[in-house]
Structure 1
Amino acid sequence: MSEICVVFGAGEYYDERPAVPQGAFVVAADGGLDHARALGVSVDVTVGDFDSLAGSMPECDERTVKLPAEKDDPDMLSALKIGWAQGGRVFHIYGGLGARVDHTIANIELMALLAEHGGLGLLHGDGQIVTAVCDGALRFAQSDVPPGRMVSVFAHSDVACAVSESGLKYEVTNATMTRTQVVGLSNEFRDGLPATIDVRHGTLIVTFPAEAPLPQLVSHRTFQGDLGELDTEVSAFLHQ
Structure 2
Amino acid sequence: MTDKTTSCVIFGAGEYYDETPRIPHGAFVVAADGGLDHTRQLGIDANVIVGDFDSLQGRPPQLGDHTIALPPEKDDPDMLSALKIGWLHGARTFHIYGALGGRIDHTISNIQLMALLARHGGTGFLHGDGTTITAICDGELSFPANEVKPGRMVSVFSHSDISTGVSEPGLKYQLVDATMSNIHVNGVSNEFLDGQPAKIIVRHGTLIVTFPAEAPLPTVTRLHEFTGDLGALNTEVSAVLHTGHENAQRL
Smaller-chain TM-score range? over 0.9
- Indicate the residue corresponding to 1:187 in structure 2: 190
Q: Distance in 2 between matches of 1:180 and 1:234?
A: 35
From 51, 54, 59, give the equivalent of 2:57.
Answer: 54
3-state DSSP of counterpart to 2:117: helix
From 9, 14, 19, give the equivalent of 1:11.
Answer: 14
Q: Distance in 2 between matches of 1:87 and 1:81?
A: 10
Asked whether the 8 Å contact 2:148–2:192 carries over to 1, the reply is yes
Aligned-residue offset at 1:53: 0.9
- Report the residue type matching 1:17 in the other structure: T
1:125 is aligned to 2:124: no
Q: Distance in 2 between matches of 1:6 and 1:236?
A: 30
What CA deviation, in whole Å up to 9, does each residue of 1:57-105 have, x standing for no partner?
A: 2221111001111001000000000000011111000000000000000
Question: Which 5+ residue runs of structure 1 have no aligned equivalent?
Answer: none
- Report the residue type matching 2:207 in the other structure: L
What CA deviation, in whole Å up to 9, does each residue of 1:158-179 have, x standing for no partner?
A: 0001000011000011111111
- What stretches of structure 1 move > 6 A for 4+ residues in a row? none
- Indicate the residue corresponding to 1:76 in structure 2: 79
- Indicate the residue corresponding to 1:226 in structure 2: 229
From 165, 170, 181, give the equivalent of 2:168.
Answer: 165
From 32, 54, 57, give the equivalent of 2:35.
Answer: 32
Aligned-residue offset at 1:237: 4.0
3-state DSSP of counterpart to 1:70: coil
3-state DSSP of counterpart to 2:177: strand
Q: Distance in 1 between matches of 2:234 and 2:106?
A: 18
CA RMSD across the alignment:
1.0
- Report the residue type matching 1:3 in the other structure: T
Aligned-residue offset at 1:236: 4.0
- Indicate the residue corresponding to 2:246 in structure 1: none
1:99-118 residue pairs with structure 2 within 5 A? 99-118=102-121
What CA deviation, in whole Å up to 9, does each residue of 1:13-68 have, x standing for no partner?
A: 00101001111000000000000110111110000011111111222111100111
- Indicate the residue corresponding to 2:249 in structure 1: none
Question: Which 5+ residue runs of structure 2 have no aligned equivalent?
Answer: 244-251
3-state DSSP of counterpart to 1:165: coil
Asked whether the 8 Å contact 1:72–1:232 carries over to 2, the reply is no
Asked whether the 8 Å contact 2:143–2:219 carries over to 1, the reply is yes
Q: Distance in 2 between matches of 1:43 and 1:56?
A: 15
* Compared CA separation, residues 49 and 207, structure 1 to 2 (3 A): same
State the percentage of identical aligned residues: 66
3-state DSSP of counterpart to 1:89: strand
- Indicate the residue corresponding to 2:200 in structure 1: 197
1:144 is aligned to 2:141: no
- Report the residue type matching 2:159 in the other structure: H
